[in-house]
Amino acid sequence: MARSTIAASGSHAQPGSAGALPYRRRHRSRSPEQSTSTRTPPPCKRPRFWSRHATTPLDRTPPADPPADRPRPAARGGGHRAVPYGGGTGRPLPSISATTTQVASGLKRPTAIAAPDDGTDRLFITQKSGSVRVYHPRTGLAQTPLLDITSAVDESGNERGLLGIAVPPDFAASQDLYLAYTALPDAAVTVARYRLDEGRLEPLLSQPHAEFSNHNGGQLAFGPDGNLYWSIGDGGSAGDPFRSGQRLDTLLGKIMRIDVSRTCGGLPYCVPADNPFVGTPGARKEIWLYGLRNPWRFSFDRADGSMWIGDVGQGRWEEIDHLARGRGGLNLGWSCYEGLEKFQGGDCVPGAAYTKPVFTYSPYTGGCSVIGGHVYRGRDHAALVGGTYIATDYCSSTVWALRPDGRGGYEQAEIGEMPTQVTSIGTTAAGEFYVVNDLPGGLHKVSFAQEEPTCRVDRAVTAWGTGMTVDLTLTNTGDTPVNGWTLEFSLALGQTVVSDWNTTLTQGSNTITAVNAPYNGTIAPERASPSAISPRTPATPHHRHASCSTATPARWAAEQPSGAPERNTGAPDVRTG
């Protein structure tokens, strides 16, 4: 284990309180059974209270304040286009299911995940108190920490501590890591370089944050341009009491961009010359984006370099932002807006352009804090979710999937649940997904699967002349369309089908196969497709039903002459009776 020698901190503020997590409302309690690591959503689970919005911002002046007793939504526009980007390559989102498998336990309030691209297949996991653990898929969680800076970290309360970690592109040669934490003795939010070969911590940049212990942000990531990006919340409490989101003279409520490969003007980093506020009087030149409340997690798409941000809301809306590569200087609206709704009209700047989120949801459906994730660019599940952004919520554990649709909008779906209290979604060097959860402190691998549509067949058999008619109604009971169906029937020996309706039918011996007609193969969720067959020879009128999956044709015996037993020769998921 490497312990650190600490260089001069450069951070300044005064002590405060609280810890490392993004939430700010009481989460719902779960039983131990609900906290298991592998969870499958109910097959007919409906989307929660989503808010879907157009994704091309408008240039407009913020609307006038609504009357105090009648708050109303106000459109949020901006002078920058948030889309389009390259669409995903995966299957329709409603047909995808996300599940997790626990691979390690014993972590103590894990907060972030990063992976070195050095061929070792390791994951680095930060713990709130100030240490970094190492996980390897073959050997598991190493008992000895990779590094320990607990002597430098203020972990008081719930949202302070070691919050973020980033691995530079040259890690294999440099053995440097970058850490975001709240520093002792003054609780300043700080980004620092840690030299593994020397066991030395070098603070680079800090922001006073002593008055309140929450909203420390804390995400670190290297962008496609090689620069280091760092997020900080608005200073805490509630309602942005310092009006930090819209101010450019503070790093609070911002995402910063710095070059850590060089030093400039006595600083241990350089400010890129194309940062948007270089040369703006009174502005902090490190600022890349502003108007954020608590951007706990953000990430870059490995394919197109676009930026995805999960910004924790005040109380009405959690939001996800998606920005094209290189779009600095954008105002994401807080605290003029929360999501798409006007929040504090007095914080709005007349004529300002605000960039709106691409997705919002209400936390009053069991959620509390959005946990921003990543765009899936791995190989194991590329056919299903390639190009899909995955996020979750600390309290509800809902898995949100978003993907540009190629037409200026987004596909959106709720595709399962994570373990409870996920604090971070991370990727391996190869792009596969892992998550850590706060309590009890586990590491979980994320997998994706195709959910086949489900259907129910109702059949009514009636006497008809010298034969019978079997009326069939195929009902889609799932959440995704049935695209093509096949049903097989066993008839009494000697029976033949003399006619059929709305099917393409073949018969071999006493078995018939009914396939959808060209015009009725697609059945929307909760819709039905009627058809019928008429075998020769009498039968006793009766009514039966069967459940089937379009993955495997359902098989059962149609009604036979009185006294003949019914046979079920189908797959295990077929039931009759």
250-289 pLDDT, tens digit per residue, is 999 999 999 999 999 999 999 999 999 999 999 999 999 9
Higher-confidence position of 79 and 224: 224
- The percent of residues above 70 in pLDDT, for the chain, comes to 71
- Which of 468 and 223 is assigned the larger pLDDT? 223
pLDDT at 403 over 50: yes
Residues 377 and 500 in one domain: no
For 39, half-sphere exposure in the C-beta direction (CA atoms, 13 angstrom radius) is 19
Residue 4, domain member (yes or no): no
Domain boundary among 392, 415, 450: 450
* Same structural domain, 226 and 318: yes
pLDDT confidence band for 81 (50 / 70 / 90):
very low
For residue 394, is pLDDT > 60? yes
Instruction: Report yes or no on 30 lying in a domain.
Output: no
In this structure, the answer to whether residues 468 and 414 fall within a common structural domain is no
Examine residue 26 and state whether it is found in any structural domain, yes or no. Answer: no
Identify whether residues 359 and 249 lie together within a single domain. yes
Query: In the chain, helix, strand, coil percent, each to 5?
Result: 5, 40, 55
Q: How far is CA 179 from CA 83, 242, 298, in A?
A: 31, 26, 15
Q: Which residues contact 404 (CB under 8 A, 6 or more apart)?
A: 83, 84, 85, 86, 87, 88, 322, 387, 410, 411
Could you tell me if 59 and 137 lie in one domain? yes
Q: pLDDT tens for residues 536-566? A: 443 333 323 233 334 333 334 444 333 333 3
Which positions ≥6 away from 255 have C-beta within 8 Å? 229, 230, 231, 232, 287, 288, 289, 290, 292, 295, 298, 309
Examine the fold and report which residue of 417, 450, 483 is the final residue of a domain before the chain moves on.
450
**Are residue 400 and residue 489 in the same domain, yes or no?**
no
In a domain, 31, yes or no: no
pLDDT tens digits, 100-159: 999 999 999 999 999 999 999 999 999 999 999 999 999 999 999 999 999 999 999 999
Asked if the structure places residue 157 within a domain, the reply is: yes
Determine the straight-line distance between the first and last CA of the chain, rounded to whole angstroms: 65
Q: Whose CA is closest to 455, among 549, 528, 544?
A: 549
Q: State both tokens at 10.
A: 């450069």
- The model's pLDDT over 4-17, given as tens digits with 9 standing for 90+, comes to 333 333 333 333 33
What Å distances lie between residue 38 and 192, 370, 418, CA to CA? 36, 21, 8
- In whole angstroms, how far apart are CA 377 and each of 100, 304, 433? 18, 11, 10
Please report the pLDDT score of residue 515 as a whole number: 81
**What is the tally of structural domains in the chain?**
2
Containing domain of residue 356, as a range? 14-20+46-450
Provide the mean pLDDT of the chain.
79
Q: Is residue 311 part of a domain?
A: yes
Cα distances from 332 to residues 78, 201, 299, 348, 437, in angstroms, run 9, 33, 16, 12, 28
The residues near 502 (Cβ < 8 Å, ≥ 6 apart) are: 517, 520, 529, 530, 531, 532
Q: Residue 180: what pLDDT?
A: 99
Decide if 221 contacts 306 (C-beta within 8 A): no
For 554, the 3-state DSSP assignment is strand
Cis bond leading into 350, ω under 30°? no
| pLDDT for residue 548 | 35
User: How wide is the angle at C-alpha 224 spanned by C-alphas 221 and 225, nearest 5°?
Assistant: 100
% of the chain exceeding 90 in pLDDT? 58
Q: Do 516 and 538 have their domain in common?
A: yes
Looking at the predicted structure, is the pLDDT value of residue 430 above 80?
Answer: yes
Among the residue ranges 75-84, 221-230, 299-308, 358-367, the one predicted with the least confidence is: 75-84
Identity of the amino acid at 197: D
* Residues sharing a CB contact under 8 Å with residue 283, sequence separation 6 or more, in sequence order: 248, 249, 277
Residue 492 pLDDT exceeds 70: no
Is residue 37 included in any domain, yes or no? Answer: no
Question: Do 66 and 199 reside in the same domain of the chain?
Answer: yes
Lowest-confidence segment of 32-41, 326-335, 423-432, 466-475 by average pLDDT: 32-41
Give the global pTM. 0.73
CATH number, domain of 555, equals 2.60.40.290
222 and 336 co-located in one domain: yes
- Burial class from Cβ neighbours inside 10 Å (0-12, 13-18, 19+) for residue 450 reads middle
Output b/e per residue, 239-263; b: 16+ Cβ within 10 A.
ebebbbbbbbebbbbbbbbbbbeee
On whether the CB atoms of residues 203 and 192 are closer than 8 A, the answer is: yes
| Domain co-membership, 525 together with 557 | yes
Q: Are 358 and 494 within one domain?
A: no
Residue 235 has what pLDDT?
A: 95
Residue 95 confidence (pLDDT): 80
Q: Are 242 and 250 in contact (CB under 8 A)?
A: yes
Residue 64 and residue 73: Cα distance in Å, rounded? 11
**Domain end residue (candidates: 450, 483, 505):** 450
Same domain? 385 vs 533: no
Judge whether 480 lies within some domain.
yes
Count Cβ atoms within 10 A of the Cβ of residue 465 and give its class: 0-12 exposed, 13-18 middle, 19 or more buried. Answer: exposed
- What CATH number corresponds to the domain at position 422? 2.120.10.30
d(CA 352, CA 348): 8
